[in-house]
Structure 1
């Protein structure tokens, strides 16, 4: 049984840095996506940072990584550092999201510039 989102992701997709745990549970990506959808931002970030510590690595599919960042930003819409992290991840995985990358960076800059000193 998986006790964390990270364990579930590791079991389903594998881990570039650690062995995949033995598991007698059936795995369906839809179950993982459901768990991801309702996970809190800290759990999602822990999964991303543990399974993809250098952002360009890891076995998480790009669609899962993008969804994870989107869900984190919905929960924490006013954190410029997270916006930039999400933008960097999108940028690394192809030009399809360049307009979203630029928008995230603009929003992060605007938040920082509006913050009281």
Structure 2
């Protein structure tokens, strides 16, 4: 039985760096996507960091990475570092998403600029 999103992902998709945990039940991508959909940002980030530590590696399918980053940005829309990381992931995994990646880079730039603007005194 799995206690974390990361363990569940490892069982469904495998892990380039570690073996899948012992499991006594069948898994499918659909059940994993349901868990991912309602996971909090910390759980999603932990899964991405552990299963894809170099951003372009790991066995998570690109569609799952894209979904994970989309869900993260919904939960943390004001995080320029995470926005930039999502854009980089899109760039690394194919030209189909270059337009979206460029928009995310621009959003990250705007968020960082807003962080450095002096506020009202």
TM-score by length of 2: 0.94
Q: Does 1:37 align with 2:57?
A: no
Q: Does 1:67 align with 2:67?
A: yes
* 1:58 match: 58
- Supply the RMSD in Å over aligned alpha carbons: 0.8
Give the alignment of 1:1-117 within 5 angstroms. 1-115=1-115, 116-117=117-118
Cα deviation per residue 1:12-42 (whole Å; 9 max; x = unaligned)?
Answer: 1110000112211110111100000000000
Structure 1 ranges of 4+ moved more than 2 A: none
Q: What is the rounded CA distance, in whole Å, between the counterparts of 2:20 and 2:8 in structure 1? A: 10
5+ unaligned residues in a row in structure 2: which ranges? none
